[in-house]
Chains A and B, each alone.
Chain A
Amino acid sequence: MKYIKKMLHLLQVITGNSSVNKRICEKNPGTFTENRRNFDVLVIGEMYDVKDLIPHNKTYLQFDAPDRTLFASFLILQGKFSWLNEGKGKCIIVCKKNNEKKKSVSMFDIPFLHTIIIHKYKLKKQQAELKFPLLCHPLQICKFIFGKKYEMSFVEKCPLPEIIDFCAQRDIEFEYRVIKN
């Protein structure tokens, strides 16, 4: 088993998958490596240029990935909202129209999810894909690395009322923005 693990790791390094994996994972701030807390805004969802969303004096964290579904953004929010300034924070979820209704989670979401969530939604396949991202999803990786960030979106009512309730119960101001495809 140890030998197989070592071989897999070697294969990961040789094929460039480990550096892409690192790039995906490093978007997830660690509580020991990131000293800042009490952010004003969290932006979760599609790859989006936030310059027009965040007033210049506000602090923010962004968790973005290509084609992130609204469902996956909600799962990420559940584990990340404590980065916000309690009682004063805002969450913006940005989603492409065609990703609103999908109940799927991708390998890009895995680093941002607690193991409890990974087990609950049986996300072993996506976890394995994250080890070989280039091999499993080459097009998505191109989008992730070279793709342009979206710049236009519209505020709409969120089609998942659970997210609205979740934020209300935790004193989080919530804004849902849609990118029309």
Chain B
Amino acid sequence: MNNIPWIFMGTFQNKDFDLLLNNVQIGIQNGVHGFDTAPSYKSEGVLGIVLKTLIEKGVVKREDLFISDKVDAWQMQENNGEMSQYVQDALHKMHLDYLDLVLVHWPLPEYLYATIRSLIELKEKGLIRNIGVCNVRIGHLKRILSNVGILPDFIQNEIHPLNNCDEVVNWCNEKNIKIMAYSPLCRMNKKLIESPILQELSIKYNKSIGQLILRWHLERSVMPVFMSHNPKRIVENTSIRDFSLDKNDIVRINAMNENYKIFLESKGCPGYEIH
């Protein structure tokens, strides 16, 4: 686990080869080596070809990349948690020998433990390097530990100032579970753009609101998984390591929390357990 990224680029709704090739290359040139996909994004194949192209061009080495994929709810149901075939298909589609991380996309109560057991076997075989779960609460993690005997290496939750996930972030940081934040900018919700706190801090630090939010994630030891089709924004979003936020400002951004989620948990995972 020594090439853990500090930031990821996501590929949700991002299937155009030329656009992705350009954006991934810009990302890599600006220090990104983590890339996130999922079967439901229909971007596994194109991301795989993009990365293969960049490896062949000598832009990046495979061992410097960190590729994160997921297993979707329908796969967990269709094969009762047995994930081997899907992971092998994904590797084939992406022209890879191994995945750095496979995340369970939704913690469907009926199939969660069988799925994780299957991922453990794949990890033992060397096909995947890390196991993760998305959209989780502390209760899920404790139940995974008691039912399967492990804690995941990573979690990936919707985290941004309007949904700071304080409890699970603190808990995972204590247990050394790596935390990824998806929709880290809350898709630049109006409430963020118009926030007087963020506007004030933007002037104070001479950074854009997007940069402030992404830096806030880093200050909390959270790895943002951002998405942008716009090369300028990719440069902007990755230029956040030359400043840090004062403690008090982190607290002020934390206080913007209003439990606002774009992706409602029960919508992605019927019967979602909140405790």
Interface bits B233-275 vs A (CB < 8 Å: 1, else 0): 0000000000000000000000000111111111111111111
Which residues of chain A are near B269, meaning CB under 8 Å? 114
Q: Which of the residues A82, A85, A166 comes within 8 Å of B267, measured between beta carbons?
A: A82
- Contact present for B259 and A78 (CB under 8 Å): no
Which residues of chain A are near B271, meaning CB under 8 Å? 78, 166
Q: Is A71 an interface residue (CB 8 A)?
A: no
Q: Is A138 an interface residue (CB 8 A)?
A: no
With contacts A37-B260, A117-B270, A120-B77 taken as known, whether A82 is within 8 angstroms of B265 at the C-beta atoms is yes
Which residues of chain B are near A49, meaning CB under 8 Å? none
CA distance A31 to B267 in the complex (A): 9
Q: Is A38 an interface residue (CB 8 A)?
A: yes
- Contact present for B262 and A82 (CB under 8 Å): no
CA distance A115 to B106 in the complex (A): 13
- Contact present for A31 and B77 (CB under 8 Å): no
CA distance A31 to B260 in the complex (A): 11
- Contact present for A31 and B264 (CB under 8 Å): yes
Q: Is B73 an interface residue (CB 8 A)?
A: yes
Specify the chain B residue showing the minimal Cβ separation from A37: B260
- Contact present for A31 and B263 (CB under 8 Å): yes
With contacts A38-B258, A86-B259 taken as known, whether A116 is within 8 angstroms of B266 at the C-beta atoms is no
Specify the chain B residue showing the minimal Cβ separation from A117: B270
Specify the chain A residue showing the minimal Cβ separation from B111: A116
- Contact present for A37 and B273 (CB under 8 Å): no
With contacts A79-B266, A119-B77 taken as known, whether A169 is within 8 angstroms of B261 at the C-beta atoms is no
Which residues of chain B are near A171, meaning CB under 8 Å? 274
Q: How many residues of A contact B (CB 8 A)?
A: 24
The smallest C-beta distance from A60 to any residue of chain B, in angstroms, reads 16
With contacts A82-B272, A116-B74, A169-B275 taken as known, whether A38 is within 8 angstroms of B267 at the C-beta atoms is no
Q: Is A32 an interface residue (CB 8 A)?
A: yes
Which residues of chain B are near A116, meaning CB under 8 Å? 73-74, 77, 108, 270
Which residues of chain A are near B275, meaning CB under 8 Å? 169-170
Which residues of chain A are near B272, meaning CB under 8 Å? 81-82
The smallest C-beta distance from B165 to any residue of chain A, in angstroms, reads 12
Q: Is A80 an interface residue (CB 8 A)?
A: yes
- Contact present for A79 and B270 (CB under 8 Å): yes
Tell me which residues from 107 to 136 in chain A have a Cβ below 8 Å from any Cβ of chain B: 113-117, 119-120
- B positions within 8 Å CB-CB of A: 73-74, 77-78, 108, 258-275
Closest A-B pairs by Cβ, 10 of them: A82-B264, A82-B266, A78-B270, A79-B270, A114-B270, A78-B271, A82-B265, A81-B266, A170-B274, A37-B260
- A positions within 8 Å CB-CB of B: 31-32, 37-38, 75, 78-83, 85-86, 113-117, 119-120, 166, 169-171
12 further interface pairs, Cβ-Cβ under 8 Å (given A85-B259, A119-B78): A31-B263, A32-B262, A37-B260, A38-B260, A78-B270, A78-B271, A79-B266, A79-B267, A82-B264, A86-B274, A116-B77, A119-B77
